[in-house]
Amino acid sequence: MTKDTVSPLSSSSSSLSSSATSADSGAATPATHEGGGNGLLWVLVAVAVLFAFVRPRAPMDWLKLVDWQTVGALAGLLAITQGVEKSGMLQSAAQRLLARTTDLRQLALLLTATAAVLSALVTNDVSLFLLVPLTRVLATQAHLPLARLVVLQALAVNAGSALTPIGNPQNLYLWHRTGESFGGFMLMMAPTVLVMLFWLFVAVWLLVPRTAIALKPAAEAAPVQPRLLALSGVLFVGFVVALDRHWLLAGLAVVFVSYLLFQRRVLLGVDWALLAIIALMFVDLRQLAELPAVASLVGQWPIAEGWRAYLAAIVTSQFISNVPATILLDRYVHDLPALAAGVSVGGFGCVLGSLANLIALRLAKVPHGLREFHRISIPFLIVCAASAVLLRLG
């Protein structure tokens, strides 16, 4: 069975190798946002317009569809990330890391493992805000397959964050629903997470060659700005505390006013289109989940428990993302461990499976990021889903 399940990743590795150069040749073009895709923004706008005709709502009802806590948290983190980047600290850290790393596979394993561990402790999104900008700077100093490294990090945070109740939003929701202790929830998720992490490191081994890292001609390094770095560090800690205490508006005000007064250029680099994409995803996907036809279809499925619940969670996540899928299926699925495992694995595959996927690609600013993501993530979903369902059947 192992030989059969690894074959999709193995067969895709050769085609991925041939496409790596073209997919990553634009890694150092920071103005490009094709990774997340502004095309996706316009698709979401079109779907929202369609819903406006099919299911008219009052303006305030449209605003209520958006999870403003999530959008606000991302806005603050995007601004702080820009502050850290413009401080020059990432360039300095990248130089030190490249001086201590011997080959490309070692670097990929280090970045991927760090992403998985961090996501279990500080959530999947925060992990990406810390690591993807560093990876992008690494690609400006050495010839690296940026798109592939970022895709592997996106897979890593989806896998690692599934372990703990605080790793991602769906886990936090299901943790309270199950009534498990913190440790009990981790034990419940551990088998599925181990399967995902196993295939993650198999993917790194297959997709990243063990070759020496070729450095690019040294460019004039931007000087580190200690004051901007210190300001961004203080704002990061304060903003995380504000989010934990549910002081979102106060935290956002402090972040944006601080940069507006002392480092206005930081705000010019914020990816406002990403925030629009996330907000529109909530508007579109929640309306899709509310459709009577969808509710009727889901209600007819025999998905109350077992492997059917697990597979239903994976499939639903591909269309409406794993957090809305969790909320939608909770009323129909009685097997919460199966639901938790399914929406975790469902973060792989389609880019819409998890918001973390979109965030990673937008932060990377790499051409053809969506294409590279699906070349890796879809085979990865297949092998993880098959392995985890066999684990549940066993």
Mean pLDDT by 10 residues, the chain (394 residues): 36 41 41 54 89 86 85 87 85 87 94 94 84 92 94 97 89 84 92 96 96 83 83 90 86 95 88 86 81 75 81 91 86 89 95 91 87 96 88 58
Is residue 354 packed enough to be buried (19+ CB in 10 Å), middle (13-18) or exposed (0-12)?
A: buried
Residues 13 and 206: beta-carbon distance below 8 Å: yes
User: Could you give the count of Cα atoms lying within 13 Å of 299 in the half-sphere of its Cβ?
Assistant: 8
Residue 304 confidence (pLDDT): 74
Is residue 254 packed enough to be buried (19+ CB in 10 Å), middle (13-18) or exposed (0-12)?
A: middle
In this structure, what token pair is assigned to residue 73?
Answer: 């948290």
Tell me the sheet residues that pair with 103. Answer: 212
Residue 7 confidence (pLDDT): 37
pTM: 0.77
215: three-class secondary structure by DSSP: strand
Residue 82 confidence (pLDDT): 87
Q: Which of 343, 348, 349, 355 is CA-nearest to residue 277? A: 355
58: three-class secondary structure by DSSP: coil
Residue 261 confidence (pLDDT): 92
